[in-house]
Each structure stands twice: as structure tokens, then as C-alpha cells.
Amino acid sequence: MSLPEILQTPLTVPVVASPMFIASGPKLVAAQCQAGVIGSFPALNARPASQLGDWLDEITESNAAYAAANPDAVVAPFAVNQIVHRSNARLDEDLATIVEHKVPIVITSLGARPDVNEAVHSYGGIVLHDIINNTFAHKAIERGADGLIAVAAGAGGHAGTLSPFPLIQEIREWFDGPLLLSGAIAHGRSILAALAAGADFAYVGSAFLATDEANVVEDYKNMVVDSRADDIVYSSTFTGVHGNYLRGSIEAHGLDADNLPKPTSGPDPLEGGLGDIKAWRDVWGCGQGISSVASRGTVAQTVDRLAAEFNDARDALDRRTGAAALV
Ligand SMILES: Cc1cc2nc3c(=O)[nH]c(=O)nc-3n(C[C@H](O)[C@H](O)[C@H](O)COP(=O)(O)O)c2cc1C
């Protein structure tokens, strides 16, 4: 199956920048699109809900102005993320704003609803739904999603436990539509690996946390730069749903990151916490790939790095597979 037209837009590198609670706002998304990767943000980041329309206008106008001033530049489309979970009281209001603004790509998480998909299809938009296993993947497509985001082990934020290889492989056995791979992808070589495994795009979040445009505090950005895979803790303590967090941000609250208590309530994916310690605001989400983030910088520098690494990896692979063919 060929990709929907909106996903055939040329990109600097085949990446969809994933939506990140608190971190992704109009500045980050516009910078991602203008660097040539598909940008995205959770609708819930626009607060109050009435701000969502202003954000959509701001990104659209910024991208249009950039494209007019840079006619040769690659400017990618953007996506909005809807948390389709009963804890999201804004779902209907945000969906109406999305329909009104004809947002080209909608990413749904934590629940698949046919009426949400139909609303997006009504104006020609597409829906990508994120899943952590093949069972949820089937359900999402049965309920009308156009494409899938396979969230493998090691992803920042709420994450699954499956290795990317069987996850992608099992989905590709029956699904030939748009497929994105998510989880600890922060190096161009990993983007190439995602494509080799069967994905159409890599879905990259944490690699953008340390950028100037990300809406997180300085200490968070610096901790991303200073941390490695061993510093990521997988826990359901804070929201009732398993996710990956920076060890340093857990220990900063006097908690033993290796012996965390069971969740006391929830699941509450966005507003959860442990006593006064709030998930996302105080305990910081992050994926296992961040050793590839060696310094702070702009979104454009991050995308340039990913593209250069991707191209180098492709050349190196050509050399290796060329050599293998001669044996
Ligand atoms: C800080 C943070 C917040 C996140 N918030 C959301 C969110 O609001 N909605 C969502 O669908 N995914 C969210 N995610 C998950 C990402 O969409 C994506 O699956 C993940 O970033 C990919 O893994 P990576 O961070 O290792 O690249 C979040 C991830 C992080 C790191």
C-alpha cells in the first residue's frame, strides 16, 4: 500500500517528532517542521482549551512564512495528539477545534475510538494510533485508524516492553499501511534500522528534549545530556501506567529509584503523581536512547545531526552489504 499523500511530503530525514506532554509547544513544533521533520504536540499542552486554535494558527502561519522566505526549504506538515482516555475531559472540545482547523495528521494514544477517527476523516485528515502490542494494533485498525505507531521497549513517556523487532514484524505480517517505530531512537543509525525493520518512519521524542525550543526547565535539558540508558527507570508508580523516567529526577525527590512504591491511585496518565510529586512536571519522562544526545542545541542542529548520521549509516550499510554479496 502506498503512503497517504500527506506522508509522502519530502522530509530531511524520515522522522515524525513525537508529541511530549508539557515539552511540545508551538515553538518546538514549528522548528521541527521547518527543519524538515513532521512535528507534533499533545492538544492538552494548550491550556486552557481555548488556546488550542491559537496554537494551530501560530504553527500554520509560522510554517507558511518560513516556506515563503525559503522557497527551497523542506517544510514538513504537523500533527496533533489526542489522549483518548477517560481522564481526558477535553477530548470532544479539542476534537472540534482539530476538525475546524483541518489538522492534517492526528495521533491518538491510550484509546481507539471510531467516532474520533471518523471526525478526522470527515475533512480528509489521517489518524495514526499508538500501540504497544499486536492485539492493540488490530483493534486500532478495526476501529478506523489509518496507520500505527509501534511503541517498543525503551520509549520515553508511557512505553511497552516488547523489542522493536517482533513488534514490527508481527504487525507487518498483516498490515501494509503507514507504520512508525517508536522507542529510544535518537541516532540516525537507529532511524535507518527502523526502516530496515519494516517501518516507514522513526518516531522520535526524547532526542528533542534538550533543544532550545523544548518547553522544559534547564535542569531537565541538562539531565538528558548527562544521562545514558542505565539512567532510565521503567515504573508505573507515578501515573499507574508503565513509563520511562530519568533516574536523577526521581532521586531528586528523595525516592529510591530501584525500590519505588506501587501506584496509590489511577491510572491517571497525565495528572498522576506520588503525593505532591507530579508526573511529568517533577519526575521527568525520557527514553533509553539519549546517550546519543551529547550536547544542548537547536532543533535544526538535532535534525541535521540525525540526517548526517542516517546518511553515513546508509553508506556504511551499502559498503557492508555490498561486501557480503561478494562472499
Ligand atoms: C516527556 C515525554 C512526554 C510524552 N508525552 C506524550 C503525550 O502526551 N502523548 C503521547 O502520545 N506520547 C507522549 N510521549 C511518548 C512519545 O510520544 C513517544 O512514544 C516517545 O517519545 C518515543 O520514544 P523516545 O522518547 O525514546 O524517542 C511522551 C514522551 C516523553 C519523553
For residue 261, tell me if it sits in a domain. no
What pLDDT sits at residue 40? 98
For residue 232, tell me if it sits in a domain. no
Percent of the chain with pLDDT over 90: 87
Domain that residue 22 falls in: 9-215+289-326
For residue 270, tell me if it sits in a domain. no
What's 297's domain CATH number?
Answer: 3.20.20.70
Q: Is the CB of 285 under 6 A from ligand 1?
A: yes
Predicted TM-score (pTM) of this structure: 0.96
> Considering only CA atoms, which of 153, 162, 163, 161 is closest in space to residue 184?
153
Whether 73 shows a pLDDT value over 90: the answer reads yes
Closest ligand 1 atom to residue 154 Cα is 26
Pocket test for ligand 1, best of 15, 21, 83, 108 (most atoms within 8 A of CB): 21
Q: How many structural domains is the chain composed of?
A: 1
Q: How far is the CA of 227 from the centre of ligand 1 (A)?
A: 17
Residue nearest to atom 21 of ligand 1 (CA): 205
For residue 301, tell me if it sits in a domain. yes
Could you report the per-residue pLDDT of 207-247, keeping only the tens digit for each?
999 999 999 999 999 999 999 999 999 999 999 989 999 99
What pLDDT sits at residue 326? 61
For residue 37, tell me if it sits in a domain. yes
For residue 262, tell me if it sits in a domain. no
Q: How far is the CA of 285 from the centre of ligand 1 (A)?
A: 8
For residue 231, tell me if it sits in a domain. no
Q: Is the CB of 263 under 6 A from ligand 1?
A: no
Residue nearest to atom 11 of ligand 1 (CA): 109
Distances (CA, A) of 144 to 74, 119, 324: 30, 11, 42
Could you report the per-residue pLDDT of 253-297, keeping only the tens digit for each?
999 999 998 887 778 877 788 888 999 999 999 999 999 999 999
For residue 282, tell me if it sits in a domain. no
Whether 29 shows a pLDDT value over 90: the answer reads yes
Interacting residues of 84 by C-beta distance below 8 A, sequence separation 6+: 91, 108, 109, 110, 111, 112, 113, 116
Q: How far is the CA of 19 from the centre of ligand 1 (A)?
A: 6
- Dmax of the chain from CA atoms? 63
Distances (CA, A) of 310 to 228, 229, 300: 21, 21, 15
DSSP one-letter code for 6? G
Strands (E), the chain: 15-17, 39-42, 78-83, 105-109, 126-131, 147-151, 157-158, 179-182, 201-204, 232-235, 243-246, 273-274, 277-278
Whether 24 shows a pLDDT value over 70: the answer reads yes
Q: Is the CB of 117 under 6 A from ligand 1?
A: no
Tell me the C-alpha distance between 269 and 22, whole Å.
13
